[in-house]
C-alpha cells in the first residue's frame, strides 16, 4: 500500500477529507521522526514500538575480494511488533 492509498483508506474510515487526513498523517510521521532523532521511543500499545539502536564501528570484507573496509558507527531504527498486531496478522 502506498501513501496515497493509505491516506484514502484512513480518510474513508475516519470520515475526514483527504487533505485533512494527509495533514494528520504527515504531522504524526514528523512527530515520530523528531522523537527518534532525540533518542526517544514511540510506543503504541498493542501495535508496536519504534526505537533507535546504536551500531558500533566495524571492519568488513568486501565480497569477491580480500579488501577490508571500515564501516563507521551509525544509528538505526527498529520496530518491535506489539502483541495485538502480531496476533491480527498471523490469524
- The span from the CA of 51 to the CA of 82, in Å, is 13
Provide the residue range defining the domain that includes 7. Answer: 1-40
Examine the domain organization and report whether 78 and 48 are in the same domain.
Answer: yes
Examine the domain organization and report whether 35 and 75 are in the same domain.
Answer: no
| Per-residue pLDDT band at 91 (split at 50, 70, 90) | confident
Domain count for the chain: 2
Is residue 54 within 8 A of residue 73, CB to CB? The reply is yes
pTM for this predicted structure: 0.80
Examine the domain organization and report whether 84 and 56 are in the same domain.
Answer: yes
23-39 mean pLDDT = 97
- The span from the CA of 33 to the CA of 52, in Å, is 11
Q: pLDDT of 47-67, one tens digit each?
A: 999 999 999 999 999 998 889
What per-residue confidence (pLDDT) applies to 64?
87
Examine the domain organization and report whether 33 and 61 are in the same domain.
Answer: no
Question: CATH number for the domain including 90?
Answer: 4.10.520.10
Amino acid at each position: 500500500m502506498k501513501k496515497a492509498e493509505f491516506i484514502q483508506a484512513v480518510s474513508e474510515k475516519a470520515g475526514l477529507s483527504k487533505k485533512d487526513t494527509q495533514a494528520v498523517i504527515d504531522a504524526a510521521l514528523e512527530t515520530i521522526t523528531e522523537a527518534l532523532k532525540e533518542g526517544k521511543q514511540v510506543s503504541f500499545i498493542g501495535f508496536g514500538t519504534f526505537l533507535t539502536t546504536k551500531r558500533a564501528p566495524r571492519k568488513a570484507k568486501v565480497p569477491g575480494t580480500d579488501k577490508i573496509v571500515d564501516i563507521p558507527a551509525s544509528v538505526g531504527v527498529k520496530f518491535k511488533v506489539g502483541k495485538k498486531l502480531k496476533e491480527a496478522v498471523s490469524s
